[in-house]
Amino acid sequence: MSAINVFQQNPGAEAKAQSPLHHADLASLVGKGRKNAGVTLREKKFLGHLTLRGDGHNPEFAAGVHKALGLELPVALTVVANADSSLQWVGPDEWLLIVPGGQELAVEQKLREALEGQHIQVVNVSGGQSLLELRGPNVRDVLMKSTSYDVHPNNFPVGKAVGTVFAKSQLVIRRTAEDTWELVIRRSFADYWWLWLQDASAEYGLSIEA
């Protein structure tokens, strides 16, 4: 077995981080939307994103993940979460783990320790993607404009997560509560989706939350 070196990938305090939507200055838009807006958008920036790969059919793998994260290994098309972290099924042998920013290294080390001896992969992909939260009574209406995937509650209950076509690109849609959805987006497409969501939400009113 080859040795694995795990490095701290976060920049030092002298480096100023910018979110994918830094240029949109969302903070300046807080409180300026329509009252009782049907859609509220929040950029959940600077979170840690890790991809985890392993044998989901191996009880030892599932036990190691639970030991390291306190989360059960989610089954197909689902996401599980605790107070500050979430674990989403991406494929038969792949999961997306999102943790508070700055905890990526510690979490990766815990996973490697708990899964020592198993054939696994843990990759920090924080710099390549981000998370948008959409909340409100008209979010599903916006999603129906944006994707061909059936987002009716009978087909898309709370706890489901899918990768699908959205507008003219692709992202991951996750339903985390009755009127709350998350979009896992690629950094390079953040501006496109921001412009799209403004247009698609216009008739219901869009408010920004810090």
pLDDT at residue 1 greater than cutoff 60: no
What pLDDT, on a 0 to 100 scale, did the predictor assign at position 48?
97
Q: What is the pTM of this model?
A: 0.92
Separation between Cα atoms, residue 205 and residue 63, nearest integer Å: 45
What is the DSSP-derived secondary structure letter of residue 127?
A: G
Those residues with Cβ within 8 angstroms of residue 38's Cβ, 6 or more apart along the chain or in another chain: 136, 137, 138, 139, 141, 201, 204, 205, 206
Separation between Cα atoms, residue 88 and residue 198, nearest integer Å: 27
User: Do the Cβ atoms of 166 and 134 come closer than 8 Å?
Assistant: no
Q: Which tokens belong to 151? A: 């987002």
The CB-side HSE value for 199 (13 A sphere, CA atoms) comes to 9
**Mean pLDDT value across the chain:** 94
